[in-house]
Structure 1
């Protein structure tokens, strides 16, 4: 299997953004945990694993095959994933195709992840689990608890029309909880509760050395400056 053959919706533009930000952290910060809420078949998890240092712990949390029946999953998710090979065994098989060891796996709802990850210990959290307002709000709260000062949270589906609850939870965090976005793509919003400037600069530098383009995307909120990463042309 090649990386491009892993099923999923982790787009190349966000693959690039993850790589730039994780590499920037590894080059400028001490080790810290990395967390993913919602792994599907492991496409983003495999890339995250490429940027782990030997003394870092990667925690991957998902319902896996339980999503089709669990009350912790949104009804639309239960229907969507019912006929898909979303099993823990499938994720493990794919991940081990690219890495020698599995991440620490939490098979359960994302609301339980803070039982396994110490407060203020993570440098990067990817939120891509439930899409309802309450579940995303809880996941953002969990991310804030797990992240150390200045850590990054990457939020999926922050503008997807089919997930208005997800959009509402993300922007509520920006408006009312001090979350500061520094970059966005069509698919994900990248933010921190710390200083966004170094991360924004890392995205600008990465785009300048790649085939991706940037546009200014001012939020006009608490002097937040954001850049929009998109395809050239």
Structure 2
């Protein structure tokens, strides 16, 4: 595969592959890698050498720990698809300024170029309520991952428009702490969406208001003004 250094698109979907070869890192012109619906438990660290990567699809694999430095593709990566993997945590996304499409757990997120509109699609068994469907996303993001990216912040803002979802967010022990950290971000989109989510939480129930007061959220948000 290392002889194909000019290759720009590589599609390996639905092949029951147990691993990707380390020399995939030699494909420095690669823009699209579709390795979804295989049996991958990891990806080679050499993938970071594919600096032109725009689309990376790893959906439907067995990846629990994604050890992947995305900084080399921070300005090029537009789509990262991780739907259906048993991820323990997300890779750091804050530097991925071009990212507009992301899937993780059982949720697909898309945003427009200016991060003013977000679409959130939640997939699960039809008999489950929307709030229960969101539980895998909240477990992954609030407990073990950084949310310092406009795509994730905007998705939470949209999700929090639903009162039932707000109640589920409030049940996550570290959710409010994460949202306060987001409200203190250097990224104005993350700040705006975090404050929007906190506002929805405050309006959802008296119990949630008490939690916000306990975390001194008002002082944190006021300090931004």
Instruction: Compute the TM-score of the two structures, normalised by the length of structure 1.
Output: 0.31
Larger Rg: 2
- TM (norm. structure 2) is 0.32
Query: Higher RCO, 1 or 2 (CA under 8 Å, sep at least 6)?
Result: 1
Which of the two has greater strand per residue? 1
